[in-house]
Structure 1
Amino acid sequence: FVEAGKAAPTKKKGTKVSKADVAIGKIRKLYAIEKRIETLPPEEKTRQRQQLAQPVLNDLKAWLEKNSTRVPRDSLTYKAMQYTLNQWDLLTGYCQDGKLHISNVLAENAIRPFAVGRKNWLFADTPRGAKASATVYSLIETAKANGIEPFAYLNSVLQHIGNAKMVEDVEALLPWNTSLNKMQKG
């Protein structure tokens, strides 16, 4: 919608707001709700989202369904409207779980260094190298997400993985199960 708003002709005084700008205004209301509830525990966030955000989401969906037929099919606004409607269940899923974020910006920020650096990583020139890279990167980011310093985590995994005999032994090394997690949170 931001791109569609920028692509819209410049507005003259007294003209109507673009449909892209209307959509952005409705989305901003959702982010304002998130700002107000950001410090609440997950259960309370879920309750607040269902009470406050769900009506805004319902209004947005109704508005999108009504207005998507009122814009040219080849416009950026139409494409944004259709994308939003096609992704509706994923878009609104955060209202069902207070641990989820309204945006995937945290995930995008986490993978940005990987995306920028991948051209420099010579070992990933084969499918196996790429898979190894993705595995290590996933471990590092999951360690960070669980409040564990990545180097200490990888060091611990490498020290103990050789002794793992059963699936449970390997699972005990995962970032949310490891003793490093308990030490850093305790």
Structure 2
Amino acid sequence: MGDMGGAATYVERPRGFTFPGATSLYRYSPDRRGEHAEALLGGCRGFLHADAYAGFQSLYVPEPGTQEPRLIEVACWAHARRKLFDVFEATRSPLAKEALEQIAALFAIEASINGRPPDERLATRQAEAIPKLEALKTFFDETLRHVSGKSTLARAIRYATSRWPALTRYTTDGRLEMSNNAAERAIRPLALGRKNYLFCGSDSGGIRAAGMYSLISTCRLNDIDPEAYLRDVFARIADHAISRIRELLPWNWKPLA
């Protein structure tokens, strides 16, 4: 999941699931209050890949009478890395550099298993990533004992250590990802576009824009030309039976000859 102002993006890339296709859903809200995430995701169960947005925290709390949260947090290593990268860029700290190199080794493991079945991904992570994560955690703890707690490096490290269970959760399930980059990539065109066309004009405009972004981004995730898809669907949707609307979803779509 990625968010930006009044827009949020949820990306699903199935690996070994029965879900018919990869999906990107943009949801518009007039502000960043947590109630919007609660309204959209409160009924969901499973894992949530996300950044540290405070509005998600209520979704991770165990439900009354149970020990299980509605959603299990999977934190993003790209966000943790970015904070350390910013410290290194500003200070050239050798400790920040060492942390970045260790994180790069973890991402290299992910690159080697990208697209592999979940069971293979899980086995590789447990054999290769877990020892490196343990070494990184030791490095973080040692560094925190020797640097000022008010330093930018300490703050960047604490961002990671305070989320350690969520950051390492990807090693427990081969379906999970190490980072939230899929959602971040999906929302980047919106960020660039917003600077060019300066807003949607109204709440209803934001809702409609979110719908269009959802279709276009989902087409791209499924290797479909968005322009060809929209041209075809717009030309035929008025006469298409509502009972067969699923035929026009990007992963089911077949252009008319």
Which TM-score applies when normalising by structure 2? Answer: 0.55
Give a deviation string over 1:113-137, Cα, whole Å, max 9, x none.
2211113336702122122212211
The correspondence for 1:104, drawn from 180, 183, 188, is 180
Which TM-score applies when normalising by structure 1? Answer: 0.73
Residue aligned with 2:179, SS? coil
Unpaired segments of 5 or more residues in structure 1? 11-16, 182-186
Q: Which shows bigger deviation, 40-49 or 131-140?
A: 40-49
Tell me: higher relative CO, structure 1 or 2? Use CA pairs within 8 A at least 6 residues apart.
2
- Aligned letter for 2:113? I
Identity between Structure 1 and Structure 2 (%): 37
Deviation, 1:100, is 4.4
Q: Conserved in 2, the CA contact under 8 Å of 1:124 and 1:133?
A: yes
Kindly indicate whether residue 239 of structure 2 is the aligned counterpart of residue 164 of structure 1: no
**2: CA distance between counterparts of 1:156 and 1:43?**
39
Deviation, 1:81, is 0.8
Kindly indicate whether residue 123 of structure 2 is the aligned counterpart of residue 40 of structure 1: no
Kindly indicate whether residue 89 of structure 2 is the aligned counterpart of residue 6 of structure 1: yes
- Correspondences of 1:44-59 after superposition (within 5 Å): 44-59=120-135
Q: Structure 1 or 2: larger helix share?
A: 1
Residue aligned with 1:4, SS? helix
Deviation, 1:142, is 1.5
Unpaired segments of 5 or more residues in structure 2? 1-83
- Correspondences of 1:120-159 after superposition (within 5 Å): 120-121=196-197, 124-158=200-234, 159=236
Give a deviation string over 1:87-139, Cα, whole Å, max 9, x none.
33443343344454433334333322221111333670212212221221122
**2: CA distance between counterparts of 1:81 and 1:147?**
38
**2: CA distance between counterparts of 1:152 and 1:89?**
44
Matched residue, 1:77: 153
RMSD value over aligned CA atoms? Answer: 2.9
Distance of aligned partners of 1:98 and 1:75 in 2 relative to their CA distance in 1, 3 Å threshold: same
Rg larger in structure: 1
Give a deviation string over 1:130-166, Cα, whole Å, max 9, x none.
222122112211221122221233345543476325x
Kindly indicate whether residue 102 of structure 2 is the aligned counterpart of residue 26 of structure 1: yes
Distance of aligned partners of 1:163 and 1:109 in 2 relative to their CA distance in 1, 3 Å threshold: same
- Aligned letter for 1:149? D
Count matched residues.
Answer: 170
Q: Conserved in 2, the CA contact under 8 Å of 1:148 and 1:180?
A: no
**2: CA distance between counterparts of 1:42 and 1:151?**
33
Q: Conserved in 2, the CA contact under 8 Å of 1:3 and 1:76?
A: no
**1: CA distance between counterparts of 2:232 and 2:151?**
53
**2: CA distance between counterparts of 1:61 and 1:151?**
47
Q: Structure 1 or 2: larger strand share?
A: 2
